[in-house]
């Protein structure tokens, strides 16, 4: 039996041996001590020590559980007891387990879950008691997501497990329902606008699906100050790089813009200027206006030609935007509460009960 796990926020789990200080992060500043700094107790993404400390922490946990590190490969550990064998291979934030005993793997996963949170996968688990109810709720959530972009990614994610839902997926659905209960009066706040300029935010989370490593595309389209269209979709092919994933997302966004532009022309609301596509990948912004193919980008020639042709004809303008200002980020990946709330407000999600 072979099982694969993916540890969420892997580099945040390592304990630091060095003394490192950082500025107080936004939202967590002490108003009484604004000039003080924080001492890190755990590693963060971007630290040189983060990969090493994360690996060290995971190996120590496995050793405490009875595993023995391999003398030939520091990423391989093995466990043998009473005729049972289990091998564990660590690769960045992925853990691969193989054993002759499925019950032993299940027990090991339960032990690891006390230390880490794994992402949703299609791995074996206890099936939900009422899959029909599960599918019915997903259908209702998909309908609701037509007016609630803040739940679009989460609903799209759990909808990928309609065929064989397990208890883990049911727990995720309950979390969405709890969020909706807390924000039941929230919705899109539309306002009058003096202009009809189209602004589009396009983003992608590269290789985000732990089962097939396909990426997720996200797109948010504004007409003036109002959000009028959005989507969160799993890409059909596996991208070889983050630039390729972003380019596929850009191509999907341009397809949506073409339809919206045609519709606006029919009702005499044609934008005066070309739509602006905001992307947080410098490689994509460069490729969209570069007429020369490179060996690493030849395999994405369909979307490449499509987007580049529209840029050359000045039908769209592709511009760079920093990741912190990328509004489509909420449509491609799970986010911390503060970041999710911030982007929801930027997408004009408001408490409609208090705004009336």
Q: How far is 97 from 77, CA to CA, in rounded Å?
A: 10
> Per residue in 225-234, pLDDT tens?
999 999 999 9
Q: How far is 21 from 245, CA to CA, in rounded Å?
A: 35
| The pLDDT of residue 48 is above 70 | yes
Q: Are 343 and 330 in contact, with CB atoms under 8 Å apart? A: yes
**Domain covering 2-112 in this structure, CATH number:** 3.30.310
Q: How far is 131 from 209, CA to CA, in rounded Å?
A: 22
**Domain covering 188-355 in this structure, CATH number:** 3.30.420.10
Q: How far is 75 from 62, CA to CA, in rounded Å?
A: 11
Return the exposure string of 28-45: e unless at least 16 CB atoms fall within 10 Å of the residue's CB, then b.
eeeeeeeeeeeeeeebee
> Per residue in 151-192, pLDDT tens?
999 999 999 988 888 888 999 999 999 999 999 999 999 998
> Per residue in 309-356, pLDDT tens?
888 888 899 999 999 999 999 999 999 999 999 999 999 999 988 765
Q: Are 307 and 345 in contact, with CB atoms under 8 Å apart? A: no
Q: How far is 50 from 339, CA to CA, in rounded Å?
A: 22
Q: What is the DSSP letter of 227?
A: E
Q: How far is 16 from 26, CA to CA, in rounded Å?
A: 22
| The pLDDT of residue 221 is above 90 | yes
| The pLDDT of residue 222 is above 80 | yes
């Amino acid at each position: 039996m072979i099982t694969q796990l993916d540890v969420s926020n892997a580099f945040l789990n390592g304990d630091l041996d060095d003394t490192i200080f950082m500025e107080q992060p936004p939202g967590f500043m002490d108003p009484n001590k604004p000039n003080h700094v924080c001492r890190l107790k755990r590693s963060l993404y971007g630290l040189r020590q983060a990969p090493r400390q994360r690996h060290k922490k995971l190996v120590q946990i496995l050793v405490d559980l009875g595993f023995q590190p391999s003398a030939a490969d520091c990423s391989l550990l093995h466990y043998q007891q009473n005729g049972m064998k289990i091998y564990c291979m660590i690769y960045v934030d992925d853990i691969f387990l193989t054993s002759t005993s499925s019950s032993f793997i299940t027990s090991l996963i339960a032990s690891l879950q006390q230390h880490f949170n794994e992402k949703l996968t299609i791995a074996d688990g206890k099936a939900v008691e009422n899959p029909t109810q599960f599918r019915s709720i997903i259908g209702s959530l998909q309908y609701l997501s037509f007016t609630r972009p803040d739940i679009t990614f989460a609903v799209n994610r759990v909808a990928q497990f309609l065929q064989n839902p397990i208890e883990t997926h049911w727990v995720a659905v309950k979390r969405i329902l709890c969020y909706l209960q807390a924000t039941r009066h929230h919705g899109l706040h539309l306002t009058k606008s003096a202009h009809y300029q189209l602004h589009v935010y396009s983003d992608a989370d590269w290789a985000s699906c732990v089962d097939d490593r396909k990426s997720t595309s996200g797109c948010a389209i504004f007409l003036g100050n109002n959000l009028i269209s959005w989507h969160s979709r799993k890409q059909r092919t596996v991208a070889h790089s983050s630039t390729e994933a972003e380019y596929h997302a850009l191509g999907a966004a341009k397809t949506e813009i073409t339809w919206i532009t045609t519709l606006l022309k029919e009702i005499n609301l044609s934008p005066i200027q070309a739509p602006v596509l905001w992307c947080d990948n410098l490689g994509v912004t460069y490729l969209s206006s570069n007429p020369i193919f490179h060996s690493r980008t030849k395999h994405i020639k369909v979307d490449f030609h499509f987007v580049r042709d529209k840029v050359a004809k000045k039908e769209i303008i592709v511009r760079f935007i920093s990741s912190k200002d990328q509004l489509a980020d909420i449509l491609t990946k799970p986010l911390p509460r503060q970041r999710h709330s911030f982007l929801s407000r930027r997408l004009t999600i408001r408490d409609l009960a208090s705004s009336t």
